[in-house]
Structure 1
Amino acid sequence: MASVFTMIMEGKIPGNFVWKDDKSVAILTIQPIRQGHVLVIPREEVDQWSDLPLELAAHLMQVSHNIANALKIAYPSTRVGLMIAGLEVPHTHIHLVPMDSMDDLSFAFAKPADGDVLKQTAEKIRGVLVEQGFSEAEH
Structure 2
Amino acid sequence: MPSIFSKIIDGEIPAHVVAETTEFLAFLDINPLTMGHVLVIPKQEIDYIFDMDEESYFGLTLFAKIVAAGIRKAFPCIKVGMAVIGLEVPHAHIHLIPLNTMDDINFSRPKLHPTDEELAEAALKIKAQL
TM-score, length basis structure 2: 0.96
Distance 2:126 2:110 in 1: 22
Give the structure 1 partner of residue 26 of structure 2.
26
Tell me the amino acid that sits aligned with residue 62 of structure 2: Q
Q: CA RMSD in A?
A: 0.8
Q: Any unmatched runs of 5+ in structure 1?
A: 130-139
Residue 35 (structure 1) shift: 0.4
Q: Structure 2 matches for 1:53-72, cutoff 5 A? A: 53-72=53-72
Distance 1:3 1:39 in 2: 14
Identity fraction in percent = 38
Residues 79-136 of structure 1 deviation map (CA, whole Å, 9 limit, x = unaligned): 100000111100000000000111000121323221110000001100111xxxxxxx
Give the structure 2 partner of residue 112 of structure 1.
113
Runs of 4+ in 1 over 3 A off after TM superposition: none
Q: Does 1:80 align with 2:80?
A: yes
Tell me the amino acid that sits aligned with residue 122 of structure 1: A
Tell me the amino acid that sits aligned with residue 121 of structure 2: Q
Tell me the amino acid that sits aligned with residue 106 of structure 1: N
Residues 31-90 of structure 1 deviation map (CA, whole Å, 9 limit, x = unaligned): 100000000000011111110111111011111111111111100111100000111100
TM-score, length basis structure 1: 0.90
Give the structure 1 partner of residue 44 of structure 2.
44
Relative to its length, the structure with more helix (as a share) is 1
Number of aligned residue pairs? 129
Q: Any unmatched runs of 5+ in structure 2?
A: none
Distance 2:94 2:81 in 1: 10
Give the structure 1 partner of residue 128 of structure 2.
127
Tell me the amino acid that sits aligned with residue 86 of structure 1: G
* Paired residue secondary structure (2:22): coil
